[in-house]
Structure 1
Amino acid sequence: MLAIVILSRGKCGLSKCITRYLVGMAAADFLVVISEPILYRIIQNYLPVSFFFITPVCSLIYCLVFTSTVISVWLTVAFTFDRFIAICCEKVRTKYCTESVASLVIGMVCLLSCSVSIPWYFRHEPEYVIHNIPWYCITKPMFFSSNLWAVFVIFYVILTPCVPFFLIIFFNFLTVRQIVIASKVRHGLRSHNNGQHDRDLEMENRRKSIVLLFSISGSFVLLWVTQVVFYIYRRITQIYSYPVTEPLYITDSTANMLQLLCSCTNTCIYTMTQSKFRQEVKNLGKYPFNLLLKLVKSQ
């Protein structure tokens, strides 16, 4: 919420296009935190008999978990692709890297993510029916026997996170290569023209702008790599269930934890890489005290 408020103010020295993507990513990450750890895990453990366990409600929460995850992942891909266009494709940059295009891309990602995740709502059936009210969610037997469900699950896992994982690595590789080439060319031209190594303010600003990109996409790759590798391992070995004492269970739990942690790191990244963001955090923290001081003085 802090990141959403500060970034929405537009005072962090970032372009409107980048700001729009960052606000969308922060909102998607916030939705992941609300749906997965809070609604799906904490409430399940501490409020076992509540409104949240009526079958349509818990099915909706389960669907929301997948929807928010897909949105968060693919907005990271969209942001990475936008920065790739901005740095590597000068002819397209002026038309694509705009606030209106960013808004359109975010809207399309949200719409498609919701559409793709709808089938998860129909995975469950009620465990009990008490006074005509269905309670709890258990997986339908056909989920394990239906070929249609099997195809959908494979499609979903390829969609998130396998394809985004490799797309982010690919776009970052191309971006880094372009930056290295451009740096060498500019360095050679400036040395030839000036006969000395002056500060290149344009390249310094470019390096600062891509620090944010590499921090966000790099943290995504590092925190999702365990999940991707473990999924590939399970598909190869055909092992899908294991006791809680097995190392595979610990690996699975660790992969899920790291995946969820990915939704909580972006605010820390903003704070560490953007000095103006840190200043806005300080200003926001001082605001209630300044307001109270003004009220006291006015009295």
Structure 2
Amino acid sequence: MLETIYRVRKIWYMVIAVIGVPVNLVAMVILSRGKCGLSTCTSRYLVAMATVDLLTIVFEIILWRISYYYFPGTFLDITPVCSAISALGMATMDCSVWFTVTFTFDRFVAICCRKRKAKYCTEKTAAVVITTTGVLLCFKHIPYFFTYRPIKVIDNMPWDCIRKPSFYMNPGWVGYDWVTTVLTPILPFVLILLFNALTVRHILVTSRVRKGLRGQSKVENRSDPEMESRRRSVILHLTISGSFIILWSVNVAEFLYSTIGGLDQNNYNDSEFIFQHFGEILLILSCCTNTFIYGLAQSQFRQQFIRTAKYPLSSIIQLINKQNI
């Protein structure tokens, strides 16, 4: 069973890297152009989310996991290097989670708090929120660099990374790890559910009111441009946050299961071990789902994506035609 899980993880991480790197790069390019019919504020958040998703794939998947499975014994396995990669991977994954929270809150303000929208939902505010959140999360993960020790020392060079026993026994480290886990993903999970519930409630109430007013004015057969625009924005917002909730739910359930039951994650039985790694596989998938969500929810993004994907092929065809002439 463990051998099967090992093989599945090995293939899965390579698939995520092959798909995730190009789709996130393309998403960053398209969204940064601002030609998708989205506000500059929304585009800023989505670019930030695509950027940290790409960085998560680079640090957490390629440099940490794929290097372990496919390229053991390289300089990446030197203890200070792999310690830094691990800390950076966790930091970027945290940024991905919290940028989803900040984006959800921004959409909540834009939809439910119309009076504060003009002041909060701006490109400048988005830049400040993203930068502040990213810096704080990077500082938050600096201590993780010091939680590793080498597995072996060859010619005075420390190799490979393993957690120090004190990380699991020292009350300070145990408390730090528990608080870190609560901050990501438990608190974001709760906040996203709360903001989405309030947003949906506000939309339902507003929709009933507008339908009543339009019915009284006897123009119910006409389209409502404001509601259509809001509907597209809400679909994008709820799909992104809903995807996060689905893909992180197993990881959250596993944390609550081990915490409430007082279980040691290093001593899981086979079924618990499978459940834990299934949660890891799902949360890794969250690093490359947003681009597909943009394509499904935004027709203009879909058109830009197709145009960008066709560009290298069309350039090659033009080059071949020139050479033939």
Q: What letter is aligned with 1:186?
A: R
Q: What letter is aligned with 2:103?
A: F
Which one of 41, 63, 86 corresponds to residue 65 of structure 2? Answer: 41
SS at match of 2:161: strand
SS at match of 1:134: strand
Query: In 1, Cα distance between the equivalents of 2:71 and 2:318?
Result: 44
| Partner residue in 2 for 1:232 | 256
TM-score of the aligned structures, taking structure 1 as reference length: 0.95
Which one of 270, 276, 293 corresponds to residue 294 of structure 2? Answer: 270
SS at match of 2:95: helix
Name the stretch that deviates more: 133-142 or 24-33: 133-142
| Partner residue in 1 for 2:169 | 145
TM-superposition CA deviations, 1:184-233 (whole Å, max 9, x none): 11111111122644221210111011110001000000111111111011
| Aligned residues of 2:26 and 2:308 also touching (Cα < 8 A) | no
| Partner residue in 2 for 1:107 | 131
Query: How far did 1:141 drift?
Result: 2.0
Q: After superposition, where does 1:114-193 map in structure 2 within 5 Å? A: 114-193=138-217
| Partner residue in 2 for 1:252 | 276
| Partner residue in 1 for 2:19 | none
Query: In 1, Cα distance between the equivalents of 2:180 and 2:269?
Result: 29
Query: In 2, Cα distance between the equivalents of 1:289 and 1:48?
Result: 36
Q: After superposition, where does 1:71-86 map in structure 2 within 5 Å? A: 71-86=95-110
Query: In 2, Cα distance between the equivalents of 1:17 and 1:197?
Result: 33
Gap regions ≥5 residues in structure 2: 1-24
| Aligned residues of 2:40 and 2:122 also touching (Cα < 8 A) | yes
Q: What letter is aligned with 2:163?
A: T
Query: How far did 1:242 drift?
Result: 5.8
Would the alpha carbon gap of residues 89 and 196 (structure 1) be closer, same or farther in structure 2, given more than 3 Å must change? closer
Query: In 2, Cα distance between the equivalents of 1:287 and 1:48?
Result: 37
Q: What letter is aligned with 1:130?
A: I
| Aligned residues of 2:79 and 2:150 also touching (Cα < 8 A) | yes
Name the stretch that deviates more: 289-298 or 35-44: 289-298
Query: How far did 1:292 drift?
Result: 4.8
Gap regions ≥5 residues in structure 1: none
Name the stretch that deviates more: 121-130 or 238-247: 238-247
Q: What letter is aligned with 1:65?
A: G
Query: In 2, Cα distance between the equivalents of 1:195 and 1:43?
Result: 63
| Aligned residues of 1:24 and 1:75 also touching (Cα < 8 A) | yes
Which one of 77, 84, 87 corresponds to residue 60 of structure 1? Answer: 84
| Partner residue in 1 for 2:32 | 8
SS at match of 1:194: coil
| Partner residue in 2 for 1:194 | 218
| Aligned residues of 1:3 and 1:267 also touching (Cα < 8 A) | yes
Count residues in correspondence.
299
Query: How far did 1:241 drift?
Result: 3.8
| Aligned residues of 2:36 and 2:300 also touching (Cα < 8 A) | yes
Query: In 1, Cα distance between the equivalents of 2:170 and 2:308?
Result: 53
SS at match of 2:222: coil
| Aligned residues of 2:97 and 2:185 also touching (Cα < 8 A) | yes
TM-superposition CA deviations, 1:269-297 (whole Å, max 9, x none): 01111111111112112323444565546
Name the stretch that deviates more: 16-25 or 44-53: 44-53
Query: In 1, Cα distance between the equivalents of 2:316 and 2:279?
Result: 46
Identity of aligned residues (%): 45
Query: In 2, Cα distance between the equivalents of 1:81 and 1:137?
Result: 37
Query: In 2, Cα distance between the equivalents of 1:115 and 1:217?
Result: 25
Q: What letter is aligned with 1:149?
A: W
| Aligned residues of 2:149 and 2:164 also touching (Cα < 8 A) | yes
Name the stretch that deviates more: 194-203 or 167-176: 194-203
TM-score of the aligned structures, taking structure 2 as reference length: 0.88
